[in-house]
Amino acid sequence: MSQQDVNAAPGQAKTVVASAYTLHGLGELNIVIGKNGCGKSTLLKALDGALRAQDDWGRVQYVTPERGGTLTYEANVEHNITSNADWIRSSRLANQFNQFRQQSVAQFRKLELTLFRESEARAEVANLQPYFDKLNSLLDNIEIRREGITFATYAKSTGQSVPAAQLSSGESELISLGIECLMFAHDLIDGKENILLLDEPDVHLHPDLQVRLVAFLRSLLTDSNFRIVVATHSTPFLSGLDGFAGATVSFMKPGDNMLSFESIGDVQRRVLPVFGAHPLSNVFNQTPVLVVEGDDDERVWQQAVRSSAGALRVYPVSCDGVGGMNEYEQEVDRIVTSVYDEPRAYSLRDGDGVHEEIGDLGAVSRLRLQCRAAENLLLTDEVLSAAGLDWTEAQRRVTEWVARNDQHSRWNLVKNFIDDGFDRREYDLKDIRNVLVGDVLQSAKPWEVLVGQAIAGLARDQIAAASNEGSLKTFLGEKVIGALFTSEQPDVTGNEPLAVRV
């Protein structure tokens, strides 16, 4: 380990060796994401124990994942904190502690007294409002006000008092976590590294509140210099990190003892929202990622999902060209294998004249269209039939168009299509697709909608659908049909496959 790593400021990447673990590239706000049982809690506890013994570390605090109790002041809790400096730490090394929130309230009282004494020493009037403002920024429906020994909670809409026992788990959780983080940020040890270890802070929190907690943590890091390591299996938590230069992510699997933390790049910005955004919607909750090559493909598959009445469940993500496919596939594989017990994901390439299937990459089933590109699906029998045509009539209309439009900018391309023998499966139709839609199919719908609706129809009734030279089944190919169209839909377990679009 280099001396530069050891003495890195919170804004700089740092390598940490603690017990059997080595963590490379720690930034300010660091997320360890992995499935239950992969060792995240063990990692944080090892950090807590080992870093306390290292001279360059100042304040080190581990926050347990199961934070029980109520937001009430109990004198015996305060007495235990005052009389035994190690009581909080030792009581929280268990994964569950049923007086955690009472400890938080007692610590808030301690914070208040500390602030009063500091202000008194400077001959100033103590201003606690910024602390209350920060805590209230976490909450939607209630607010806390200074009252009595510590504080009381009130409904924002009515101003009426809300007893601590009537707060939701999420509200109590946020207030308690907020107090813990404020206390930590206030008690940093100058001249040394300080690190806060949060074990599954997302527990009991609605996804929107998880994002709000991330914003709260970011605001603390903006005001103070320390590091945070968060262990979680919640992908919604990650959606609040976008745009924060100090954020890093590491995906942990069982047995990992060397973790590399990386900044959130362009690939992760596109892929992670699939796991984190709108998680209460069935479309997202039951849907595997499908990586596709471009925006057009994304629109095709989005339309297919919308029109399929639940028969097709994928979430398309564009990777802006086949050149980015491998990077997206690798990142998606890394994410789903860290998050799901039975990880699955998909990617779909254009055929581009190649009919051989491509091997899978880990949990990502790699698919290839059995036609040149998605535009070729526009001339399949199913799309033509929806427009009231068959292939013979479509060819006649193309021939008539060429006879009437010799001054059109796309005339040569359409003429070449005829001269190429009307090869609807392999001819490059990209630059003449609008001619085909408007003058041959005579449709006002965009080509992506026409193709997406046809795919949806096939997904609903693939068994009865025809399979011949010009059918959608043939152009998509057996592997695509077998992977994406299933007669039995998955249960809502959170382990559904992902489909990614490049």
Q: What is the pLDDT of residues 402-422, one digit of tens each?
A: 999 999 999 999 999 999 999
> Cα–chain-centroid distance for residue 355?
33
**131 shares its domain with 90:** yes
Annotate 362-419 with DSSP letters as a single string: TTEEEEE-SSS-GGGGGGSHHHHHHTT--HHHHHHHHHHHHHH-TTSTTHHHHHHHHH
Q: Which residue has the higher pLDDT, 14 or 426?
A: 426
Residues 277, 255 share a domain: no
In which band, very low, low, confident or very high, does the pLDDT at 91 lie, cut at 50, 70 and 90? Answer: low
- Domain housing 442: 374-476
Dihedral angle computed from the Cα positions of residues 320, 321, 324 and 330, in that order, rounded to the nearest 10 degrees? 90
Q: Are residues 210 and 327 in the same domain?
A: no
Fill in the amino acid letter for 167. Answer: L
Each residue of 354-397: pLDDT tens digit?
989 899 999 999 999 999 999 999 999 999 999 999 999 999 99
Q: Report strand pairing: 315-318 vs 289-292.
A: parallel
> 156 and 141 in contact (C-beta within 8 Å)?
yes
* Alpha carbons 256 and 294: distance in angstroms, whole number: 35
| Listed residues 264, 296, 317: the one ending a domain | 264
Say yes or no: 220 and 309 in one domain: no
C-alpha to C-alpha distances, 15 to 227, 260, 261, nearest whole angstrom: 12, 9, 10
| Residues 281, 245 share a domain | no
Domain-terminating residue out of 264, 294, 320 = 264
Write the pLDDT tens digit of every residue in 444-479.
999 999 999 999 999 888 666 667 999 999 999 999
Cα separation, 496 vs 289, in Å, equals 9
Cα–Cα distance, 346 to 315 (Å, whole number)? 10
Indicate whether 359 and 295 sit together in one domain.
yes
Shared domain check, 224 and 96: yes
Pairwise CA distance, residues 4 & 13, whole Å: 9
Judged against a pLDDT cut of 50, whether residue 5 lies above it is answered with no
Task: Based on the fold, state whether residues 93 and 241 are members of the same structural domain.
Answer: yes
CA distance 410 to 431: 8
In terms of Cα–Cα distance, which of 199, 198, 172, 196 is closest to 101? Answer: 172
Q: What pLDDT, on a 0 to 100 scale, did the predictor assign at position 264?
A: 78
pLDDT on residue 235: 72
| Least confident segment among 60-64, 116-120, 320-324 | 116-120
Count of domains in the chain? 3
In the predicted structure, residue 337 carries a pLDDT above the cut 80: yes
Mean pLDDT of 434-439: 94
What pLDDT is attached to residue 9?
58
What's the pLDDT score for residue 174? 84
Residues 250 and 302 in one domain: no
Q: What pLDDT is stored for residue 30 in this prediction?
A: 94
Whether 102 and 152 map to the same domain: the answer is: yes
Residues 342 and 391 in one domain: no
Both 105 and 212 in a single domain? yes
Domain ends where: 229, 264, 299?
Answer: 264
